[in-house]
């Protein structure tokens, strides 16, 4: 069964290679989330990765997530038992929230959560998304403690989302198919969502953030509980390891995509959503082709999402069909399987990440694990993955990095306002497009640079090995338990520590 594949079960099953007896179980962990397979995105992948690592360490993992099909049921993933709560999809299936039932949503969720907690009896609760299910899990944990004398359940929360991501998500919501919600309503909803998010995080004992830039951002927003920086991690030993690529399958995929052997490929593998700024890839390719009409290369875009059809149409209108290839997938929607993913990265010689609001960028980490140089935005967490060379001027439009190039979004505008290219004026947009095109050209013209920077990518990503992340996560669970046992919690108003 592939990673992320789920199998419906009528009775409780057990994860692959689980502890066999109660004494062998290190503890039971609940991962509570609005986002899980088949929903697209980095969060489901990170959750599955974490479940795999925790299971190998002896934990029994339970995932609580919405069903998306208005039914309650349990199913078996490769590494966890998944408890589905009746829900429906929102925002092009990026999120799935629970349904109202028997009156209020709160009443239904409270009852369902209480039933699950009584059944699972968790040692730790880990909140993966800070919304309805996450908040309900925290409250259920406290009720469980109140009903079971002496029981203490540490609460961990992981930060996978920032205000910039919320704005992008809200921008995709529509009143009807042809009309988006007005900007003023989206801004109000974003403000309320950020308050809700921060309040949820402040109910935890420890908040885990993937990067130092994300940690600083949360502190600025008002998170006052203990924070720990732990990478989301990537499977660099098995799944994203170039040495494990089967040559025959790679060549078959290359043939299907009509990619000539020996011709370099610029690629992006990930969700096709507004915040990824795929327009910048298309526009920079147009610039590169115009200035170098005889340069031979391909651009491979793989991934599903609401922007895919528009980007395909734009590439056709700009006359780039000879250069640009789109992975279709089994359903002709751009989505790829877990088995396809490392091969798509391997087909690329250069990886492009043009999003400005990456909290860490799982896609970039996967490309680095496959030994690819990266052209990315000098924004938020990306310079932590693509570190600039020491002597470089960080205000230049294009900055040479250890394992690729960084292009600089408008230096006169705070990055929090540069959520996507709609916030850029035309003059600066042209500068950015030219910088990206130059970064691509430098790497296309130098196979030696691609090899050297790609090797450096593989070195940098070693510290993000998911096995190391799993060990660090276990240490954080112990830390959270210690913080909880101290019977102290943060005062939301002052930030000081006060008794519970």
Query: Omega of the bond prior to 68 within 30 degrees of 0, cis?
Result: no
Write out pLDDT tens, residues 297-307.
Answer: 999 999 998 89
Confidence band of 175 (pLDDT split at 50, 70, 90): very low
Quote the pLDDT of residue 41. Answer: 78
Write out pLDDT tens, residues 1-14.
Answer: 333 444 444 434 44
User: CB neighbours (10 Å) of residue 338?
Assistant: 16
Go through the domains of the chain in sequence order and give each one's CATH number. Answer: 7-233+466-499 (3.40.50.2000), 242-463 (3.40.50.2000)
Whether residue 168 is predicted with pLDDT greater than 50 in this model: the reply is: yes
CA dihedral angle for residue 304, residue 32, residue 484, residue 210, rounded to 10 degrees: -10
Whether residue 95 is predicted with pLDDT greater than 80 in this model: the reply is: no
Q: For residues 464 and 236, is the Cβ–Cβ distance under 8 A?
A: yes
Quote the pLDDT of residue 176. Answer: 41
- Averaged pLDDT, 360-386: 95
* Higher pLDDT, residue 180 or 8: 180
What is the distance between the alpha carbons of residues 106 and 98, in angstroms, rounded to a whole number? 10
Q: Which of 13-17, 118-122, 230-234, 344-348 has the lowest mean pLDDT?
A: 13-17
What is the distance between the alpha carbons of residues 196 and 380, in angstroms, rounded to a whole number? 22
Share of the chain above pLDDT 90, in %: 59
- Averaged pLDDT, 487-496: 39
Whether residue 18 is predicted with pLDDT greater than 60 in this model: the reply is: no
What is the distance between the alpha carbons of residues 120 and 62, in angstroms, rounded to a whole number? 8
Write out pLDDT tens, residues 425-440.
Answer: 888 899 999 999 999 9
């Amino acid at each position: 069964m592939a990673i992320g594949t789920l199998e419906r079960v009528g009775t409780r099953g057990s994860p692959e290679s689980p502890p066999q007896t109660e004494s062998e179980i290190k503890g039971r962990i609940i991962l509570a989330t609005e986002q899980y397979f088949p929903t697209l995105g980095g969060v489901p992948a990170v959750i599955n990765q974490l479940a795999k690592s925790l299971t190998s360490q002896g934990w029994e993992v339970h995932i609580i997530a919405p069903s998306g099909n208005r039914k309650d049921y349990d199913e078996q993933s490769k590494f966890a038992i998944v408890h589905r709560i009746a829900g429906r999809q929102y925002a092009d299936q990026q999120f799935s929230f629970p349904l109202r039932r028997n009156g209020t949503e709160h009443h239904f969720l409270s009852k369902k959560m209480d039933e699950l907690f009584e059944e699972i009896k968790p040692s730790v609760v880990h909140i993966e998304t800070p919304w309805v299910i996450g908040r309900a899990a925290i409250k259920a944990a406290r009720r469980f403690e109140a009903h079971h004398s002496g029981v203490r359940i540490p609460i961990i929360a992981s930060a996978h989302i920032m205000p910039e991501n919320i704005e992008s998500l809200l921008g995709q919501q529509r009143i009807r198919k042809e009309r988006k919600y007005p900007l003023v309503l989206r801004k109000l909803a974003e403000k309320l969502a950020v308050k809700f998010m921060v309040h949820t995080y402040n109910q935890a004992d420890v908040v885990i953030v993937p990067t130092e830039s994300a940690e600083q951002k949360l502190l600025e927003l008002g998170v006052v509980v203990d924070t720990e920086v732990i990478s989301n991690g990537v499977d660099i030993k098995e799944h994203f390891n170039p040495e494990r690529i089967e040559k025959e399958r790679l060549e078959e995929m290359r043939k299907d995509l009509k990619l000539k052997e020996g011709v370099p490929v610029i690629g992006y593998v990930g969700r096709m959503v507004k915040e990824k700024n795929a327009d910048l890839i298309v526009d920079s390719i147009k610039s590169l082709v115009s200035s170098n009409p005889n340069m031979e290369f391909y651009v491979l875009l793989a991934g599903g999402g609401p922007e895919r059809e528009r980007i395909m149409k734009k590439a056709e209108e700009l006359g780039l069909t000879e250069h640009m290839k789109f992975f279709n997938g089994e359903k002709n929607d751009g989505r790829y399987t877990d088995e396809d993913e490392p091969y798509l990265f391997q087909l690329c010689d250069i990886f492009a990440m043009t999003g400005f609001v990456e909290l860490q960028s799982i896609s970039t980490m996967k490309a680095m694990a496959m030994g690819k140089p990266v052209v990315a935005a000098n924004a938020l967490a990306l310079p932590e993955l693509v570190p600039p060379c020491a002597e470089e001027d960080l205000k230049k439009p294009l900055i040479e990095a250890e394992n690729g190039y960084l292009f600089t979004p408008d230096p006169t505008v705070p990055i929090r306002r540069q959520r996507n290219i709609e916030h850029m004026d035309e003059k600066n947009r042209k500068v950015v497009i030219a910088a990206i095109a130059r970064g691509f050209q430098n790497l296309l013209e130098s196979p030696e640079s691609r090899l050297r920077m790609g090797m450096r990518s593989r070195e940098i990503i070693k510290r993000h090995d998911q096995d190391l992340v799993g060990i660090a996560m276990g240490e954080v669970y112990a830390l959270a338990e210690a913080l909880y046992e101290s019977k102290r919690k943060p005062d939301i108003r002052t930030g000081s520590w006060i008794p519970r």
